């Protein structure tokens, strides 16, 4: 990557042969599973040392997690798991950049069009170019120093390499503090600008990564999200209708110099859930070396769906694994010029219903059933669902 850029991904697109895909399909025996929010837990105080023991969080094997869920209606935490543990922030630090931009501005003055042109893509699509420019032109690490002091953050620390804003250390509880400031203390115009843009988070980020994992996949709207991802094992972004993918960028920092782990892939989901932004949710996850984006996406989804999030409503349907890479989500159950986006390889998806459509063949298999994915608004062929039957046994007809 360029200096100051967040190390979201590295070059190295991996192509699968048809034979490898069929072999993988033959080995699939996974069945769908449903994950829904757990029963309500007693709210915990922010500094309650026993809070972690009362958590209902289900953490998948191989995942290190830091979680905090704050119910703004009751004024207490419903979930805390390692809330003060530091993770490299990836794009979550962009929230601090945006607040730094607004801090000394007249709250009554409109945001100039030139500034909207970079602020909105950074909040909605996690645009790195905008973050690079702001970081370079406004003091780099001094941005973090200012906001740590202004917001009273306890766990946020400067990146070991000042050229890499994504190496800033943050925690789940500090992230809750950031959102509480935006929602409860920031001038109304600042709150409206930030939250309205987070509510318009784009499925495809600026680097073609599908960023509607975690909160965005676990709950129906209304929600607002700011996501983060970084890892050498996330080699490409596949989101969008095009068949080509981004080349990715290479990291050029010395990871040994940092206080937080910079070698393992991370995936973070933060934001608010429910009417009136009732719950603030911060989920930070670190994964084993070599974890694919699709697996990390699936794991953070399972974890987030296990949370007690007041105001959150889980979408209906059945969760299933998928196989193959760049599986197309189509507007209709047929192959045509109708691709809406492409799935991260091996990701788990919510199937709302199924219907017959065009027959699809991956020799020696043929399938004319299609699964409707409500969170994508489109269909994939059931041939790519990790289940041995053509028609899924526990999914209704469309």
Residue 197: the pLDDT is: 98
Mean per-residue pLDDT for 76-80? 98
B/e letters for 14-42, b = 16+ CB within 10 Å, e = fewer, are eeeeeeeebeebeeeeeebeebebbeebe
Peptide bond just before 364 cis, omega within 30 deg: yes
Return the minimum-mean-pLDDT range out of 53-57, 92-96, 143-147, 296-300: 53-57
Reported as a single tens digit per residue, the pLDDT across 25-52 is 333 333 333 333 333 333 344 444 334 4
The stretch 133-147 carries a mean pLDDT of: 98
Q: What is the pLDDT of residue 242?
A: 76
Q: Average pLDDT for residues 220-233, to the nearest whole number?
A: 96
pLDDT of 280 higher than 90: yes
> What mean pLDDT is predicted for residues 366-389?
97
How much is the pLDDT for 267?
Answer: 98
Mean pLDDT of the chain: 86
Share of the chain above pLDDT 70, in %: 82
Query: Which residues are bridge partners to 225 per DSSP?
Result: 271
- Which one has a higher pLDDT value, 5 or 189? 189
pLDDT greater at residue 325 or residue 179:
179
Res 55: pLDDT: 62
Confidence (pTM): 0.85
């Amino acid at each position: 990557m360029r200096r100051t850029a967040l190390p979201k991904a590295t070059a190295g697109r991996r192509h699968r042969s048809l034979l490898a895909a069929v072999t993988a399909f033959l080995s699939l025996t996974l069945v769908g599973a449903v994950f829904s929010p757990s029963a309500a837990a007693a709210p915990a105080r922010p500094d309650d040392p026993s809070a972690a023991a009362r958590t209902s969080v289900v953490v998948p094997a191989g995942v290190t997690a830091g979680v905090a869920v704050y119910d703004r209606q009751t004024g207490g935490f419903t979930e805390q798991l390692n809330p003060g543990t530091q993770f490299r922030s990836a794009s979550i630090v962009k929230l601090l950049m945006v607040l730094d931009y607004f801090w000394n501005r007249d709250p009554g003055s409109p945001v100039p069009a030139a500034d909207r042109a970079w602020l909105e893509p950074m909040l909605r699509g996690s645009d790195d170019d905008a973050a690079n420019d702001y970081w370079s032109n406004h003091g780099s690490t001094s941005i973090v120093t200012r906001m740590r002091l202004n917001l009273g953050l306890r766990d946020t620390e400067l990146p070991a390499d000042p050229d890499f804003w994504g190496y800033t250390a943050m925690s789940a509880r500090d992230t809750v503090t950031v959102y509480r400031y935006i929602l409860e203390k920031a001038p109304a115009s600042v709150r409206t600008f930030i939250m309205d843009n987070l509510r318009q988070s784009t499925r495809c980020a600026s680097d073609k990564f599908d960023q509607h994992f975690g909160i965005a996949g676990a709950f129906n709207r209304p929600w607002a999200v700011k996501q983060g991802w970084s890892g050498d094992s996330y080699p490409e972004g596949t989101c969008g209708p095009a068949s080509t993918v981004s080349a990715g960028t290479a990291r050029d920092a010395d990871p040994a110099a940092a206080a937080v782990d910079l070698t393992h892939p991370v995936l973070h989901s933060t934001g608010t859930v429910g009417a009136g932004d009732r719950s603030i949710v911060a989920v930070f996850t670190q994964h084993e070396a070599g974890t694919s984006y699709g697996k990390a996406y699936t794991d953070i989804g399972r974890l987030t769906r296990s949370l007690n999030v007041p105001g959150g409503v889980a979408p209906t349907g059945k969760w299933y694994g998928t196989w193959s890479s760049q599986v197309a989500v189509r507007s209709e159950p047929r192959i045509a010029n109708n691709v809406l986006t492409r799935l991260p390889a091996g990701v788990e998806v919510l199937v709302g219903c199924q219907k017959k459509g065009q027959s699809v063949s991956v020799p020696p298999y043929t399938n004319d059933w299609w699964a409707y994915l409500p969170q994508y608004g489109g269909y994939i062929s059931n041939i790519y669902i990790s289940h041995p039957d053509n028609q899924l046994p526990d999914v209704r007809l469309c």
